[in-house]
């Protein structure tokens, strides 16, 4: 099929060209984001392929439909950046990559925990400057620390397994209990109990209207003083201003984030020669106990290969049958039947 590929980075082009040797779709790579200004480039393309920071609203969906687009192929698991109701209205199917490497994201969450706890980011700079003082670098044993996991799906369960390996006590909060987590000894508790008992909380649930600003000033007030908060899921789960207030008061002792509410204007681009205009983001960077990475948790070679393979296979399924197991509408129907 003819695919308009937006938001192309060199690593995307490389992984998709390799995977496409098998599928032979006609891919045109555009470096620009999909936006109001660029949506006309997709005219005549049956498939539009986008990433998480290509926000696709109803107006753009209508333009795509008028240009003959039948399928949006997301190169991501999350789909909070796409107006699903508008897609249905304009007869456009949406497919996604539900899992490409849950290990990549879970391992990155652990990397943030270890770095924040043992202050690796500060030690790295000190040693390079010939400062071998260890004052201020005091950490704590992860062994027997209580770790709260919000969202115990694919990534949350792998994260729990790794933390179990450190000898942590596991608390879980989810709509459904995961048997793999129960086998590890995870105790499912209320959100309030998790906040009150956890030394570390890691977010692994999707961003939905219900989970928007799940971590706000009320939530932070219920947490153990000096909590370590990790977010590798979606920026909108955390109210950034509340997190800043929590860091200033000491309520939050450590913050590790790979995602940020307003990241679409920042992440994945080299802005090192520009003045960043987002004062909230800049304030976050001033804290010694905050580590921000730019949405790189997924970024492993295995994940890139899996994203390319699943995206192209989704497109082929759609071309052959008009159906795809990874179509979002279809996934929802299967999930709701399974729950009946
Ligand atoms: P998943 O669907 O396997 O698991 C999500 C879990 O969250 C499910 O068990 C679900 O029941 C639960 N959940 C839903 N709403 C909840 C709520 N309000 N409170 C608590 N739990 C809730 O998804 P996954 O593959 O584990 O991915 C989790 C999230 O990780 C994705 O939604 C995405 O936002 C994020 N992600 C981030 C990156 C990255 O690079 N930083 C990469 C991939 C995925």
Taking CA atoms only, the protein residue closest to ligand 1 atom 12 is 151
- Give me the mean pLDDT over the 98-122 stretch: 97
Q: In this predicted structure, which of 76-80, 84-88, 129-133 has the lowest mean pLDDT?
A: 76-80
Q: What is the pLDDT of residue 321?
A: 95
Q: Is the pLDDT of residue 150 over 90?
A: yes
Q: What is the pLDDT of residue 238?
A: 98
Q: What is the pLDDT of residue 340?
A: 37
Atom number in ligand 1 closest to CA 233? 35
CA angle 238, 241, 246 (to 5 degrees): 85
CATH of the domain at 11: 3.40.50.720
Distance 206 CA to ligand 1 centre (A): 4
Taking CA atoms only, the protein residue closest to ligand 1 atom 42 is 298
On whether both 256 and 115 belong to a single domain, the answer is: yes
Atom number in ligand 1 closest to CA 155? 26
Q: What is the pLDDT of residue 70?
A: 97
Using most ligand atoms within 8 A of CB, pick from 51, 52, 77 the residue to mutate for ligand 1.
77
Q: What is the pLDDT of residue 332?
A: 62
On whether both 259 and 322 belong to a single domain, the answer is: no
Q: What is the pLDDT of residue 57?
A: 96
On whether both 17 and 165 belong to a single domain, the answer is: no
On whether both 120 and 264 belong to a single domain, the answer is: yes
Q: Tell me how far apart the alpha carbons of residues 100 and 98 are, in angstroms, rounded to a whole number.
A: 7
Active site residues: 234, 263, 295
Bridge partners (DSSP) of residue 290 are: 255
Domain extent, residue 159, equals: 102-292
Token pair, residue 205, equals 């649930």
Distance 244 CA to ligand 1 centre (A): 24
On whether both 26 and 63 belong to a single domain, the answer is: yes
Q: Is the pLDDT of residue 339 over 60?
A: no
Phi (first) and psi of residue 111, to 5 degrees: -60, -40
On whether both 111 and 189 belong to a single domain, the answer is: yes
Q: What is the pLDDT of residue 333?
A: 47
Q: Is the pLDDT of residue 240 over 80?
A: yes
On whether both 141 and 250 belong to a single domain, the answer is: yes
On whether both 169 and 233 belong to a single domain, the answer is: yes
Angle between helices 102-118 and 120-128 (to 10 degrees): 60
Taking CA atoms only, the protein residue closest to ligand 1 atom 36 is 233
Read off the pLDDT of residues 42-65 as tens digits, 9 standing for 90 and up: 999 999 999 998 999 999 999 999
On whether both 140 and 238 belong to a single domain, the answer is: yes
- Give me the mean pLDDT over the 116-145 stretch: 98
Rg (CA), the chain: 21
Query: Which one-letter DSSP state was computed for residue 38?
Result: T
Which residues, in sequence order, are CB contacts of 83 under 8 Å at separation 6+? 56, 57, 58, 61
Percent of the chain with pLDDT over 70: 97
Q: What is the pLDDT of residue 48?
A: 98
On whether both 183 and 229 belong to a single domain, the answer is: yes
Q: What is the pLDDT of residue 142?
A: 98
Q: Tell me how far apart the alpha carbons of residues 290 and 121 are, in angstroms, rounded to a whole number.
A: 10
The CA–CA distances, whole Å, from 58 to 89, 146, 265 equal: 9, 43, 20
Q: Is the pLDDT of residue 74 over 90?
A: yes
Q: What is the pLDDT of residue 331?
A: 61
On whether both 127 and 276 belong to a single domain, the answer is: yes
Q: Is the pLDDT of residue 337 over 60?
A: no
Q: What is the pLDDT of residue 330?
A: 58
Domains contained in the chain, number: 2
- Give me the mean pLDDT over the 235-250 stretch: 98
Q: Give 215-262 as a DSSP string.
A: BSHHHHHHSPTTEEEEE-S-GGGB-HHHHHHHHHHTSEEEEEES--TT
Other C-beta atoms lying within 10 Å of the C-beta of residue 328: 20
Distance 271 CA to ligand 1 centre (A): 29
For residues 86 and 69, is the Cβ–Cβ distance under 8 A?
no
Q: Mean pLDDT score of the chain, rounded to an integer?
A: 95
Distance 207 CA to ligand 1 centre (A): 8
Q: Is the pLDDT of residue 154 over 50?
A: yes
On whether both 71 and 117 belong to a single domain, the answer is: no
Confidence at 329, pLDDT banded by 50, 70, 90: confident
Q: Is the pLDDT of residue 303 over 60?
A: yes
Distance 133 CA to ligand 1 centre (A): 40
- Give me the mean pLDDT over the 155-162 stretch: 98
Atom number in ligand 1 closest to CA 211? 18
Ligand 1 environment, Cβ below 6 A = 77-78, 99, 102, 105, 150-156, 173-176, 204-208, 210-211, 232-234, 258-259, 295, 297-298
Q: Tell me how far apart the alpha carbons of residues 204 and 312 are, in angstroms, rounded to a whole number.
A: 26
Confidence at 217, pLDDT banded by 50, 70, 90: very high
Q: Tell me how far apart the alpha carbons of residues 259 and 280 are, in angstroms, rounded to a whole number.
A: 14
């Amino acid at each position: 099929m003819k695919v308009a590929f937006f938001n192309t980075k060199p690593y995307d082009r490389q992984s998709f060209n390799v995977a496409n040797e098998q599928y032979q779709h006609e891919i045109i790579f555009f470096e620009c984001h999909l936006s109001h200004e660029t949506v006309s480039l997709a005219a005549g393309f049956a498939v539009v392929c986008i990433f998480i920071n290509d926000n696709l609203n109803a107006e753009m969906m209508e333009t795509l439909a008028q240009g003959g687009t039948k399928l949006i192929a997301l190169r991501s698991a999350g789909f909070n950046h796409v107006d699903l109701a508008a897609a249905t209205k304009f007869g456009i199917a949406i497919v996604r990559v539900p899992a490409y490497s849950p290990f990549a994201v879970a391992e990155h969450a652990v990397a943030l925990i270890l770095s924040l706890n043992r202050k690796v980011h500060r030690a790295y700079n000190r040693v390079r400057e010939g400062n071998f003082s260890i004052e201020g670098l005091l950490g704590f044993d992860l062994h027997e620390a209580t770790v709260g996991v919000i969202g115990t799906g694919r990534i949350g369960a792998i994260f729990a397994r790794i933390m179990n390996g450190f000898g942590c006590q596991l608390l879980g909060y989810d709509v459904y209990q995961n048997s793999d987590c129960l086998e590890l000894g995870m105790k499912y508790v209320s959100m309030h109990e998790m906040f009150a008992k956890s030394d570390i909380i890691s977010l692994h649930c999707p961003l939905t209207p219900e989970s928007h600003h799940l971590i706000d000033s009320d939530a932070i007030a219920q947490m153990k003083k000096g909590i370590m908060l990790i977010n590798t899921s979606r920026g909108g789960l955390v109210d950034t201003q509340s997190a800043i207030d929590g860091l200033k008061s000491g309520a939050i002792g450590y913050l590790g984030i790979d995602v940020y509410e307003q990241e679409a204007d920042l992440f994945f681009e080299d802005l090192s020669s520009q003045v960043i205009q987002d004062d909230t983001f800049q304030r976050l960077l001033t804290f010694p106990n905050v580590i921000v990475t730019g949405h790189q948790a997924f970024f492993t070679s295995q994940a890139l290969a899996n994203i390319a393979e699943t995206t192209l296979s989704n497109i082929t399924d759609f071309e052959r049958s008009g159906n795809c197991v990874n179509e979002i509408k279809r996934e929802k129907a299967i999930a709701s039947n399974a729950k009946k």
